[in-house]
Chain A
């Protein structure tokens, strides 16, 4: 239950996260404190010596990106399932082998389907 266990192995990770946050914040804060600040209109322009910007930078993405990302997530999850299976493989024996093959087989059919449908192609 919560409140009884401390993952002490992860102390270095916590330290590095805090350290990284401090470095990032420190750079910004130090910059604010040290740098001279004399803004004028020309300087605040998006591209100081380039063309004036036309329209919004954010544009509609094509739905193609979504399909690729979605398929990535699915096969990513499949890979995640493989990991504990591989570690416990010795203990699971032929039983574990068969069930994982079943799992992979089903997703393999999905892969064949996606491939044949041309979802990997950049139409």
Chain B
């Protein structure tokens, strides 16, 4: 195993464990705190994929803003009762069984991964010489112009949704 692979293995295992911690904690606030650690690991994994910009966004938007939103929602709901109630539905063994089968299938087909011959236009070296922001900007605003503009409408709908669903008085 090479050093980068070791790092990847660490992040893969840690992220799996952290995700399990997020869904199994009794207190929702604890879940969120584990999620924070999870987000930071994801950011680090982006770094290892040479995606510095995504790593920064992961910290700023997810770990910074969205997590706070989650905390607000939890405090809004005041989940005192849920903490003492039963955590799982009666069917959870079935779900767990299906999940395990899917996981086993994924592991079994792992060897079938085909590695593509070419790395494409933006190799690590190319990105390094030009700078990650420059490459991201150039690709995002030319090749992916349409997705970018659609994203603005999606954000607009999110604004409307927040106002329509959560504002006390609207007329």
CB within 8 Å of B: which residues of A? 1-7, 10, 56, 58-67, 69-74, 76-78, 80-81, 83-89, 91-92, 95-96, 99-100, 102-103, 106-107, 109-110, 113-114, 117-119, 123
- Answer whether A91 and B134 are a contact pair too, CB < 8 Å, given A3-B2, A6-B7, A60-B75: yes
Task: Please indicate the chain B residues that have their CB under 8 angstroms from the CB of A70 in the complex.
Answer: 69, 158, 162, 166
Q: How far is the CA of A113 from the CA of B131 in the complex (A)?
A: 38
Select from chain B the residue with minimum beta-carbon distance to A10: B47
B side interface size, CB within 8 A: 57
The contact sample of 15 A-B pairs, CB cut-off 8 A, is A2-B4, A7-B47, A58-B75, A60-B75, A63-B76, A65-B75, A67-B166, A69-B72, A70-B158, A70-B162, A70-B166, A78-B152, A96-B141, A103-B148, A107-B155
Interface string of B105-124 (1 = CB under 8 A from A): 00000000001000000001
Contact for B159 among A80, A99, A113, CB less than 8 A: A113
Select from chain A the residue with minimum beta-carbon distance to B164: A117
Please state if A78 and B155 are interface contacts (CB–CB under 8 Å). Answer: yes
- Per DSSP, are chain A's interface residues mostly helix, strand or loop, or mixed? helix
- Answer whether A77 and B155 are a contact pair too, CB < 8 Å, given A69-B65, A110-B160: yes
Of B76, B136, B141, B170, most buried by chain A (CB within 10 Å of CB) is B141
Task: Please indicate the chain B residues that have their CB under 8 angstroms from the CB of A96 in the complex.
Answer: 141-142
Q: How far is the CA of A72 from the CA of B68 in the complex (A)?
A: 11
Please state if B133 and A83 are interface contacts (CB–CB under 8 Å). Answer: yes
Interface string of B1-24 (1 = CB under 8 A from A): 011110110000000000000000
Please state if A85 and B137 are interface contacts (CB–CB under 8 Å). Answer: yes
Please state if A61 and B134 are interface contacts (CB–CB under 8 Å). Answer: no
Contact for B137 among A6, A10, A88, A123, CB less than 8 A: A88
Task: Please indicate the chain A residues that have their CB under 8 angstroms from the CB of B140 in the complex.
Answer: 81, 84-85
Please state if A66 and B137 are interface contacts (CB–CB under 8 Å). Answer: no
Please state if A103 and B167 are interface contacts (CB–CB under 8 Å). Answer: no
Q: How far is the CA of A5 from the CA of B122 in the complex (A)?
A: 14
Within B8-66, the residues touching A (CB, 8 Å) are 8, 45, 47-50, 52-53, 57, 60-61, 64-66
Contact for A73 among B66, B115, B152, B166, CB less than 8 A: B66
Please state if B138 and A91 are interface contacts (CB–CB under 8 Å). Answer: yes
Interface string of B127-171 (1 = CB under 8 A from A): 000010110111011100100110111011011101100111110
